[in-house]
Structure 1
Amino acid sequence: MMNRTVTAHSPWALLRGLIKLMRPKQWVKNSFVLAPLVFSGEFLDLDAIGHALRAMLLFCAASSATYVINDMHDIERDRRHPKKSQSRPLAAGIVSVPAALLLLAGLYTVLLGAWFVVPKVLEVIAAYLVLNLVYTFVLKHQPVVDIFTIAIGFVLRVYAGAVALSVPVSSWMFITTLCLALYLAAVKRRQELSQSGSEGRKVLEKYSVALVDRYAEMSATGALLFYSMFVMSAKPALVITVPLVLFGLFRYWFVVEALDGGESPTDALLADWQLLLTVVLWVLTCVWALWPVQG
């Protein structure tokens, strides 16, 4: 107890705790905002790059705000969890609730200021914030709905990227993103269930490993199918990326099944070099295939 008290009063420990509370590692998810930049072919336009990156950074602030609210809401439950009681700054006593509230106010102030600069992007982010607020207090306890809520958050990221560039987004891209996000969310629930049972989340009492396995398989199949249809109907040059997508799905499932990863999609991606290399190759191949032809 004494060590925890000393840590809580250490300015550097508090700063590290506040940064950890924002979960910067999870900002990788916000790279979905950049998808319209790639698929629209505007990745050579400096203004477009700036607009897309600004939208992504604003989504980073918004997602961090949702993490702060979630951790404040779950603080007592996290204190009883064997892992979260040490890994979550609020539950571990590294960051106090008043400090978390100040951080939250700062994040909201940044978003409010951005409203006067890019109001249309902030409309999408506001929808994301409201959705996650309802998720934290209500929807996270509703089986199936909880998985879809997480997935819709990824769809909103893609939509925000399109709004930032004022470009249309193919319906195929939306449904592909939804299926891919459902796959990742289902696998996350599977790993939480298999590793911790229902201790981590109350909603896990309503699931079984076999059930979420079927959800994941259906979603992965849908993601591959709709991505292929999107490519063949709208971006034929990207046909060469389909094998990379297929390998990525196979590899991710291998990481989950054989290496016991997947509870955090971000950790699984960053920890497996083959999976990370596949994503990098997919991005580079997309850019190469969509590179504007001069003359």
Structure 2
Amino acid sequence: MHDTAIGNPIVLGLRGAFALMRPRQWIKNGFVFAPLVFTGEFLVKASVQHALLATFLFCVASSATYIVNDIRDIENDRRHPKKSRTRPLAAGIISVPVALLLLLVLYAVLIAGWFVMPKVMLIIIGYLALNVAYTFVLKHQPVLDIFTIAAGFVLRVYAGAMALAVPVSGWMFVTTLCLALYLAAVKRRQELSQNGSEGRRVLQKYSVVLLDRYAEMSATGALVFYGMFVMSERPEMVVTIPLVLFGLFRYWFVVEELDGGESPADALLADWQLLATVLLWLAACVWALWPAKG
């Protein structure tokens, strides 16, 4: 009975459709919550609801971009040693017509989102356009590809601010940009070191040494700008700086010694120390920004 359920084509199709949306990657959309935390709005019920809805819409939008990318890259993915097994389209679990139907459903959800959060949807439309450009052009352009990935994280933070109708510090934006550049540079580094330049054309333009320099520069910038943001606007959050330092150190350890980092989301979920650091950082932020009683 159990084996029959596993082999049921409907069940397999549903699992494949869910995998096509890459739910593990939704953790990246946690950046939408940054303004909610740093503005202290996490105690306001309406603000939490708006942030959750904006995050949901970004999850839908990011899943749509993954589907477009997988349809575009289906032939390359079939030749990739890992993607040929993990990507539903490349593995033959889902057909292209089914993927297109799912894509239309996701776009319909986003259209409905326009009538609820139009300002957030404007940012999401920009995100979708940026990712279409990335899928067809920008991911083949060295340096531009890394900055395009990073821009997606900045747009997530901006969407979180629009959902709450609050201003966002320039320090937060530049910190997010540097952190995202760090993650993107490490992602490219691991792709190059683990699979060579065959799986992605742009990797022929990079070297591991160059990507290491990009990553180190970006990590340093993220730490410096985060420290400046804390000292100038949120001094009560100074306790979180050691956690950020440890997180950067630990992530680089995961990259160098454990061969992680090709997928930041997978690296975070697979390493308990890294995940614990993020959760402790979030708890420290909430504790530091919690309104004083009495």
**Under TM normalisation by the shorter chain, which class is it?**
over 0.9
CA distance in 1, matches of 2:38, 2:63: 27
Give the C-alpha shift of residue 81 in structure 1: 1.2
- Report 1:1-295 matches (<5 A): 10-295=9-294
CA distance in 1, matches of 2:169, 2:199: 37
Q: Deviations over 1:207-258 (max 9, x none)?
A: 0000000000000000000000000000000111000000000000000001
AA partner of residue 166 (structure 1): A
AA partner of residue 32 (structure 1): F
Give the C-alpha shift of residue 294 in structure 1: 3.2
CA distance in 2, matches of 1:283, 1:78: 36
Percent identity, aligned pairs only, is 73
Unaligned runs of 5+ in 2: 1-5
Q: CA RMSD in A?
A: 1.0
Give the C-alpha shift of residue 83 in structure 1: 1.3
Secondary structure at the aligned position of 2:211 is classed as helix
Secondary structure at the aligned position of 2:43 is classed as coil
Give the C-alpha shift of residue 128 in structure 1: 0.2
Give the C-alpha shift of residue 51 in structure 1: 0.2
User: Which ranges of 4 or more aligned residues in structure 1 deviate by more than 4 Å?
Assistant: none
CA distance in 2, matches of 1:288, 1:82: 45
Give the C-alpha shift of residue 200 in structure 1: 1.6
Give the C-alpha shift of residue 292 in structure 1: 1.0
CA distance in 2, matches of 1:18, 1:69: 13
Give the structure-2-normalised TM-score.
0.97
Q: Deviations over 1:162-194 (max 9, x none)?
A: 000000000000000000000000000000000
CA distance in 2, matches of 1:53, 1:235: 24
CA distance in 2, matches of 1:151, 1:200: 21
Give the structure-1-normalised TM-score.
0.97
CA distance in 2, matches of 1:162, 1:291: 19
CA distance in 2, matches of 1:281, 1:83: 33
Secondary structure at the aligned position of 1:168 is classed as coil
AA partner of residue 53 (structure 2): R
Unaligned runs of 5+ in 1: 1-5
Give the C-alpha shift of residue 293 in structure 1: 1.6
CA distance in 1, matches of 2:222, 2:199: 28
